[in-house]
Amino acid sequence: MTEGGKGTLVMGVLNVTPDSFSDGGRWASTETAVRHAIDLRDSGADLIDVGGESTRPGAGRVPPRVEQDRVLPVIAELRRQGIRTSVDTLNAETALLAADAGVDIINDVSGGLADPGMADVVARTGLPYIAMHWRGHAGTMDSLATYDDVVGTVVAELTERVAVLEAAGVGRSQIILDPGLGFSKDADQNWQVFARLDAFAPLGLPVMVGASRKRFLAGVLPETAAILDRDLPTAVLSVLAAQAGAWAVRVHDVAGTRTALNVLARVDSARIGS
C-alpha cells in the first residue's frame, strides 16, 4: 500500500540519543539533529523518524522526561520547517506530547505492549500508528526468539495486537504494521519473515519494513565489514520490500535507498511503457 499515489515511502532515521548502535551521539543536540533531518529530507526522505531512546539489543531504558527533552524540540522545529515526522517511542506520554508538538505519526516498537496507555493516546489523537511485532524490551528480547513457525506466529501476534487496539478505540485506518526485523528474532528468523512479507497482506493493512543496518545483514558481508557497510544490503532489501508492496522503509542511508528505489521506479515505468 502506498500513500497519495507515491511508491514506497522512505522514512529517515534520526536518533537523538548518545547510544544508538550505528550513529549514537552524532545527532544528540537539537541543532545537529535538525540539520541532519534537513539533510535527510534533501536526500529524499518523505518523513523523519525521531527517536530519543535506543532499542538496540541490551540497551537500558531512558526516563520519559529525558526522552521528551531530546525529541520534542526537534519535532517542533521540523514541524515549523514543514518536514513530516514520526516519533519513535514506547511511552504514551511522549507520544501525546509529540502529537502536541506537531508529529505526524506515532511509531511504537512495542505495538502498545510496553505502555498500556498508548492505545488511548493513539485513539485520542487520531494519528497514524505503527505497531511493531514485539515480545520484550532490549535487555531480554534476544532470549525470546523461540518459534515453531516464525512467520505464522508473527502474523498471529500482530493480528492480536490489531484486535486489542481496535477494541481500545483505535481506528483500523490508523494502523500500520511492522514485522519487527531484529526484535526477538535470530538471523535466520529475520530472513524468513522478510522473505514472506506477502503473509501480512491478508490483514489488509500497510506494512513498514525496518531492516536498516540490523545485525542479520552482517551474514551477507565479509567478517571485517563495518556497520556502515550494511547500507548496501539495506538498499537491496528496500527494493525487494517495495516490490512486495511495503508502505515504507525505515533507513539510515536515505540517499542510497532513494537511488535504489528510483532505479526500481524507472524499470517499472519502462516495463509498463513497453
Catalytic machinery residues: 214, 250
Q: At 50, phi and psi to the nearest 5?
A: -100, 120
CA 191/CA 193 separation, integer angstroms: 6
β-strand 129-132 against 175-178: which pairing, if any? Answer: parallel
Residues contacting 120, CB < 8 A, separation 6+: 92, 168, 169
Q: Which amino acid is at 55?
A: T
Residues in contact with 223: Cβ distance below 8 Å, sequence separation at least 6, in sequence order: none
Say how far apart CA 270 and CA 258 lie, in whole Å: 18
The candidate with the shortest Cα–Cα distance to 175, out of 208, 132, 128, is 128
Q: Evaluate whether 203 touches 158 at the Cβ level (below 8 Å).
A: yes
Distance CA 251, CA 14 (A): 9
Q: How far apart are CA 93 and CA 11, in angstroms?
A: 23
Question: Looking up cell 513530516, which residue turns up?
Answer: 84
What is the rounded CA–CA span in Å between residue 151 and residue 181? 11
Strand ranges in 3-128 using DSSP code E only, listed in sequence order: 9-15, 47-51, 85-88, 105-108
At 110, phi and psi to the nearest 5? -95, -5
What's the rounded Cα separation, in Å, for the pair 269 and 262? 10
